[in-house]
């Protein structure tokens, strides 16, 4: 372990709490350099195809790209010495090429072309991992939604019990939101993942009239899109990608928050998985904390904190501006790592969630019958009069700590029309679920 290692998202001690190894590998320096190599090779192949460089030079560049092992330590020192992100890489690649083939490397391209295109390759592959993870999460939520479609619990507004719902209905709300988030990410992929092979200011002047054809060939080679207009200064693609991911992370954070609240001792309606070696407290052995749910919530908070910086990326000057561009290499990996880890943690939580159905039912208070009682009494008194009578009864029961059924039975306006037995029937939460069960079943039945 290096002494200087310790940044949370890449700390050997803590990194698995926030991110997954597969995504960390995708945003490693090795993978980044690999993207630069793929871009330079695709550029050489395209330029050879249109006659800008010799075919044998392109072949040599391609073979060198496959076989050369880059000296990452030397490259690190080179970046520090030159204060340039790409020149140490270009120099190593050039020197590794046989004969004079290296002289045709990076022909007509600029640093940002290679770094941006390499970043698009990496982001597209990382996005595929995000979308795959979301499918797994959706499947877990759909299974939970179907299983708990009829599990009656209190629906809450403003933190207070309001009307009865089912836990499956609540999960359907989460599932629907995640599906919309995934759809947004899928929809933006074609717009966002585009090559940048346009030269110093976006005119492809070095490659002349064949510049457009070269860029199109590079795009086809790498499986990316192409735009005839340079986007070196127009960073809305990155803004859209990051915004969509941050929005999704906020949705996941909301679910994590809800699951943490439902685990409070006073509610105890659900419990997240608890491993055999897991510890809730160093001093209180009874603690079983909602650690996973809190981690999902925390990741959502950190992702939202990146929203302003994501928009700041777009405030570039003229045809290119390094002041904002340098932020890409920090914010993009962090957003991908946090979101991917958040998806993995929430999936694990949902798949192993313990639902205490008896506790959910027992937690429901008699006051959730207020609306069904009002509806029944409205047939006799009118809707607004029924509301006023019942409001007075409920407030009296609260102030004097009297069971609401006793107060209602003693009220002449109520007892004249509704018997004690009818009132008790209206207090059955399973009799006033509306479309909750159908919504849960329908949402759970939708294919991912």
Catalytic site residue from 22, 84, 128, 281? 281
**CA 179 from centre of chain:** 11
DSSP H or E run through 354 = strand 354-355
DSSP secondary structure, 229-272, as one string? S--SS-THHHHHHHHHHHHHHHHHHHHHHHHHHHTSTTT--EE-
CA 111 to CA 93: how far, in whole Å?
Answer: 14
CA 329 to CA 336: how far, in whole Å?
Answer: 12
**What backbone phi and psi angles, to 5 degrees, belong to 44?**
-65, -45
Beta-bridge partner residues of 157: 160
Active site residue 158: yes
CA 80 to CA 433: how far, in whole Å?
Answer: 65
Beta-carbon count within 10 A of 120 CB: 24
247, 185 in Cβ contact below 8 A? no
Token pair for residue 79? Answer: 């970046």
Q: What's the first-to-final CA gap in the chain, in angstroms?
A: 41
Strands 160-166 and 270-271, how do they pair?
Answer: unpaired
**CA 232 from centre of chain:** 26
CA 36 to CA 136: how far, in whole Å?
Answer: 31
Active site residue 230: no
DSSP secondary structure, 55-84, as one string? HHHHHHHHHHHHH----HHHHHHHHHHHT-
CA 245 to CA 335: how far, in whole Å?
Answer: 7
199, 113 in Cβ contact below 8 A? yes
Q: Which residues are catalytically annotated? A: 158, 281
């Amino acid at each position: 372990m290096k002494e200087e290692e310790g940044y949370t998202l890449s700390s050997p001690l803590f990194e698995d709490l926030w991110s997954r190894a597969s995504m960390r590998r995708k945003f490693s320096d090795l993978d980044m350099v690999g993207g630069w190599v793929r871009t330079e090779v695709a550029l050489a192949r395209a330029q050879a195809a249109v006659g800008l460089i010799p075919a044998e030079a392109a072949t040599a560049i391609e073979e060198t790209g496959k076989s050369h092992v880059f000296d990452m330590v030397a490259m690190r020192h080179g970046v520090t010495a030159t204060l340039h992100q790409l020149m140490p890489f270009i120099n190593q690649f050039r020197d590794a090429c046989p004969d004079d083939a290296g002289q045709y490397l990076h022909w007509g391209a600029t640093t940002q072309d290679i770094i941006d295109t390499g970043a698009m390759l990496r982001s597209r592959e990382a996005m595929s991992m995000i979308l795959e993870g979301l499918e797994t999460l959706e499947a877990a939520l759909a299974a939970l939604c179907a299983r708990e479609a009829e599990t009656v619990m209190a629906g809450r507004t403003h933190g207070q019990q309001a009307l009865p719902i089912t836990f499956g209905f609540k999960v359907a709300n989460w599932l629907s939101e995640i599906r919309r988030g995934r759809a947004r990410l899928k929809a933006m992929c074609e717009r966002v993942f585009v090559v940048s092979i346009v030269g110093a200011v976006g005119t492809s002047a070095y490659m002349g009239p064949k510049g457009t054809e070269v860029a199109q060939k590079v795009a086809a080679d790498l499986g990316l899109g192409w735009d005839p207009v340079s986007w070196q200064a127009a960073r809305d693609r990155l803004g859209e990608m990051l915004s969509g991911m941050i929005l999704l992370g906020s949705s996941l954070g909301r679910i994590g928050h809800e699951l943490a609240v439902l685990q409070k001792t006073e509610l105890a309606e659900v419990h997240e998985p608890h491993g055999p070696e897991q510890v809730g407290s160093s001093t209180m052995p009874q603690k079983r904390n909602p650690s996973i749910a809190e981690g999902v919530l925390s990741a959502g908070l950190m992702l939202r904190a990146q929203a302003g910086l994501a928009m700041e990326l777009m405030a570039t000057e003229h045809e290119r501006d390094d002041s904002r561009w340098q932020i890409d290499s920090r914010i993009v990996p962090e957003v991908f790592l946090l979101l991917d880890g958040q998806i993995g943690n929430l999936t694990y939580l949902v798949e192993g969630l313990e639902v205490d159905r008896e506790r959910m039912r027992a937690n429901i208070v008699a006051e959730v019958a207020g609306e069904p009682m009002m509806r029944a009494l409205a047939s006799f008194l009118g809707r607004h009069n029924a509301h006023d009578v019942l409001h007075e009864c409920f407030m009296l029961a609260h102030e004097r700590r009297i069971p609401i059924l006793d107060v209602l039975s003693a009220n002449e306006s109520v007892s004249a029309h509704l018997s004690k037995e009818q009132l008790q029937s209206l207090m059955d939460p399973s009799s006033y679920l509306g479309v909750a069960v159908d919504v849960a079943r329908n949402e759970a039945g939708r294919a991912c």
